[in-house]
Amino acid sequence: MKMLINVPETVVTDALRGMAVAHPELTVDVEGRVVVRRDAPVAGKVGLVSGGGSGHEPLHAGFVGAGMLDAACPGEVFTSPVPDQMVRAAAAVDSGKGVLFIVKNYTGDVLNFNMAAELAEDEGIRIASVLVNDDVAVTDSLYTAGRRGTGATLFVEKIAGAAAEEGAPLERVEALARRVNESSRSFGVALAACTTPAKGSPTFDLPAGELELGVGIHGEPGRERRAMMTSGEIADYAVDAVLSDLRPTGPVLALVNGAGGTPLLELYGFTAEVHRVLRERGVPVARTLVGNYVTSLDMAGASVTLCQVDEELLRLWDAPVETAGLRWGR
Amino acid sequence: MKMLINVPETVVTDALRGMAVAHPELTVDVEGRVVVRRDAPVAGKVGLVSGGGSGHEPLHAGFVGAGMLDAACPGEVFTSPVPDQMVRAAAAVDSGKGVLFIVKNYTGDVLNFNMAAELAEDEGIRIASVLVNDDVAVTDSLYTAGRRGTGATLFVEKIAGAAAEEGAPLERVEALARRVNESSRSFGVALAACTTPAKGSPTFDLPAGELELGVGIHGEPGRERRAMMTSGEIADYAVDAVLSDLRPTGPVLALVNGAGGTPLLELYGFTAEVHRVLRERGVPVARTLVGNYVTSLDMAGASVTLCQVDEELLRLWDAPVETAGLRWGR
């Protein structure tokens, strides 16, 4: 498997060097592996910190900036960052109003963010944590006890980030983040596995002519394999999996997310089918975001994340955001 | 090859249906295959129209919106749109100030846009056209007499779009577009071929362990094939190919563009190497854009486009833009 890299060992630091030169609005500690808003700590503002294994870009470092995260800690590819990174990030963004850790539910991430919270509190930084566990595909998984955290992470980071930007206190930012997670569910499918630089070959074996329904963002197994389905059939399956668990009673945000290797042309076609299913099920869609946001290197496939929103969550979703990966001004 | 589609025949219209539901700020004529700013025609504003074969998303429909294109005409995958689409687009966006056609240099596109210009003028619409031909890899190519048009299209559409948004007259928007094209050069590499829905197998054959240096955005042959190179070696080759032709005497905009199938993690690492080469060659970089903007379906690889800018071009580049694929507010 050919890759646009130097050597597998420097993939993450090489990418951080690239972020540093491309985004002067960020402070990138390449060796320490922390990406921080250049204007951090922002006076009077709760700090938002997230992180996780690399390979899901633009998540998380691509979501650092005004209106979203204050800092991100990238681990090695598909490997949790270490507590030192998280403590350094917390110290860099704490203005005295406290820091929220946004943690995807993977065993390593949870352990390390917990340890980092204790260490940061020892240093006098007030820490709250919210766990993201939106993936309805399976109950337990490789690397995970309970549900996996996937696409809802973007909704949590954006909406909690908007509240923090407005000056909301830590308790409120935390409560909002928790509410967004509880209001969100995801389901993903893989048409082809991804390849990590260290391994150099596909992370799992998917026979020609089959797809994995309910795949995780590291290629973890899902619910079942089936013979290849059409975009419309996949939308039926994925949206119904989400709806049967979420049971929304009002409008939703919809994220139609690419796994990385699926062309945007296909993602937009899939979006049409996702909307068709939601229309048939009587679920109104308030906003739709289409693109590669929570990726799995070069995996082919897509996921659907829905988040039920009220007026407050929708207003915070619409609030301005200025990051490398997500940006709008309305 | 598995794809997230219904049937190959409806890939483009399915994607347009998806754009329509995801982007209420656009008017999408699915059957007529034209994507238009909802507020078009904008009074007193020159209209900008582009288009080309599908498969390069977000180019062009993803660049329709305030500060960039007024309309886009998507053809079938890797196939020129037809003159009817272009005439319909021109009619939809003409406020009486005239319309600029931005045409990538492929034989079909050039012929059809020329025919459309005649037809639109017969209908009383003033048309100017600018040809984009930035790819230094080869002089003639499959589908092309002269240089191919690739990444510079984004620079042309953004900068001319900003000028049009400010109310510049057609002659000035056209002159700016031409100046941006003349100030821009590109070079791309492929690590793996792409697969079109209609063919269902790779568009060209690239042996394991080799890369194509100078590939076109439809997989057209480049300058040579070599044994796989590191990211740093590829950056040296690509940047030097661009610089030896462009010979910039001032700062440049840099687009580090993904072909579609290469992870963003790798693109950022490549960006670090592109900046290293530019630093070594003494070329200052004013702005850097990293991501999948002018893609080739699921092709693995990347391209580098540089555009020499003066204060005026840089100001227009920085001007606000609000499209599905490119968006900022500063």
Catalytic residues of A: 56, 218
Residues of B whose CB is below 8 A from A266 = 3-5, 11, 15
**Residue B313 is inside which H or E element, if any?**
helix B311-318
Strand partners, B139: none
Whether A68 and A48 have beta carbons less than 8 Å apart is answered as yes
Per CB-CB distance under 8 Å, the chain B contacts of A302 are 4
Does residue B80 contact residue B112 with C-beta atoms inside 8 Å?
yes
CA distance A6 to A290: 31
Residue of A nearest to B74 (CA): A265
Closest partner residue to A5 (CB to CB) among B2, B231, B324 is: B231
Backbone CA torsion sign across B65, B67, B71, B75: negative
Biggest CA–CA distance in chain A, Å, is 55
CA A287 to CA A155: how far, in whole Å? 12
CB proximity list for A182: less than 8 A, separation 6 or greater: none
A195 and A188 in contact (C-beta within 8 Å)?
Answer: no
Helical (H) or strand (E) element with B21: helix B11-22
Which residue type, as a one-letter code, is found at position A213? L
Q: Where in chain B is the domain with CATH 3.30.1180.20?
A: 184-320
Residue carrying the six token digits 């272009």 = B86
List chain A residues with CB under 8 Å of B209: 2
Whether B74 shows a pLDDT value over 90: the answer reads: yes
Preferred mutation among A3, A4, A276 to probe B, highest tally of B CBs within 10 A: A4
CATH class of B184-320: alpha beta
Q: Which CATH class is domain B8-182?
A: alpha beta
Which of B2, B6, B77 is opposite residue A191, by nearest beta carbon? B2
H or E segment and range at residue B26: strand B26-29
pLDDT tens digits, A235-260: 999 999 999 999 999 999 999 999 99
The structure tokens listed for A231 are 């975009």
CB environment B297-326: b (16+ within 10 A), e (fewer): bbbbbbbbbbbbbeeebbebbebebbbbbb
Cβ atoms of residues A110 and A80 within 8 Å: no
DSSP of A28-96, one letter per residue?
A: EETTTTEEEETTPSPTT--EEEEEEEESSTTTTGGGBEETSBSEEEEEEETSPPPHHHHHHHHHHH--S
List the single best residue of B56, B233, B264 to mutate versus A (max A Cβ within 10 A): B264
For domain A184-316, say whether CATH 3.30.1180.20 is its number.
yes
Is pLDDT of B287 > 80?
A: yes
Give the pLDDT of residue B24.
97
Candidates A164, A26, A174, A183; CA nearest to A89 is A26
Among chain A residues, the shortest Cα distance to B323 is held by A328
How near does any CA of chain B get to the CA of A190, in Å?
A: 10
pLDDT in the model for residue B111: 98
Q: Note down pLDDT in tens along chain A; length 330 residues.
A: 899 999 999 999 999 999 999 999 999 999 999 999 999 999 999 999 999 999 999 999 999 999 999 999 999 999 999 999 999 999 999 999 999 999 999 999 999 999 999 999 999 999 999 999 999 999 888 888 899 999 999 999 999 999 999 999 999 999 999 999 999 999 999 999 999 999 999 999 999 899 999 999 999 999 999 999 999 999 999 999 999 999 999 999 999 999 999 999 999 999 999 999 999 999 999 999 999 999 999 999 999 999 999 999 999 999 999 999 999 986
Distance CA B159, CA A6 (A): 34
Give B31-67 pLDDT, tens digit per residue: 999 999 999 999 999 999 999 999 999 999 999 999 9
How sure is the predictor about B25, in pLDDT bands with cuts at 50, 70 and 90? Answer: very high
What pLDDT is attached to residue B255?
Answer: 98
**pLDDT band, residue B329 (cuts 50/70/90):** confident
Tokens of A141: 């998984």
From B4's Cα to the closest Cα of chain A, the distance in A is 5
DSSP per residue over B39-65, as a string?
A: TPSPTT--EEEEEEEESSTTTTGGGBE
Distance, CA of A247 to CA of B139 (rounded, Å): 58
The pLDDT, as a whole number, for residue A330 is 62
- Taking an 8 Å cut-off on Cβ atoms, the answer to whether B18 and A267 are in contact is yes
CB-based contact (8 Å) between B166 and chain A? no
The mean per-residue pLDDT over the stretch B100-119 comes to 98
CB atoms within 10 A of CB B293: 23
In B123-189, which residue ranges form alpha helices assigned H by DSSP? Answer: 152-165, 170-182
Query: Annotated catalytic, B218?
Result: yes
CB of A287 within 8 A of CB of A254?
yes
Are A18 and B320 within 8 A, CB to CB? no
- Name every chain B residue with its beta carbon within 8 A of the beta carbon of A192: 2
B329 touches chain A (CB under 8 A): yes
Prediction ipTM score: 0.98
Q: What's the whole-number average pLDDT of chain B? A: 97
pLDDT at B330: 61
Q: In the predicted model, is pLDDT for residue B247 greater than 90?
A: yes
More confident residue, B143 or A170: A170
Structure tokens that stand for B296 in this block: 């080739």
Report whether B228 contacts B211 (CB < 8 A).
yes
What 8-state DSSP symbol labels residue B9?
A: G
Query: Residue B131 — very low, low, confident or very high, per pLDDT cuts 50/70/90?
Result: very high
Q: What are phi and psi of A185, to 5 degrees?
A: -145, 150
CA distances from B155 to B59, B93, B218, B330 (A): 11, 21, 20, 17
Q: Is B275–A4 a contact, with Cβ atoms under 8 angstroms apart?
A: no
CATH 3.40.50.10440 in chain B is located at 8-182
Q: Which residue of A has its CA nearest to B194?
A: A263
Give the Cα separation of A224 and A226 in Å (integer).
Answer: 7
CB atoms within 10 A of CB A284: 10
Q: Which residues contact A44 (CB under 8 A, 6 or more apart)?
A: A95, A97, A167
**Tens of pLDDT along A29-73?**
999 999 999 999 999 999 999 999 999 999 999 999 999 999 999
In eight-state DSSP terms, residue B145 is S
Question: A-contacting residues of B 275-314, CB under 8 Å?
Answer: 275, 285, 288-290, 292, 295, 297-298, 300-302
Q: Which residues of B touch A16 (CB under 8 A)?
A: 268
The per-residue pLDDT for A213 is: 98
pLDDT grade, residue B320 (50/70/90)?
A: very high
Where in chain A is CATH 3.30.1180.20?
A: 184-316
- Residue-level pLDDT at A143: 82
H helical segments located in chain A = 11-22, 83-93, 107-122, 152-165, 170-182, 231-246, 264-280, 311-318
Window A:9-68, CB contacts with B under 8 Å: 10-12, 14-23, 54-55, 57-58, 62
Per residue in B167-204, pLDDT (tens digit) is 999 999 999 999 999 999 999 999 999 999 999 999 99
Instruction: Find the Cα–Cα–Cα–Cα dihedral A28, A33, A39, A42, rounded to 10°.
Output: 180
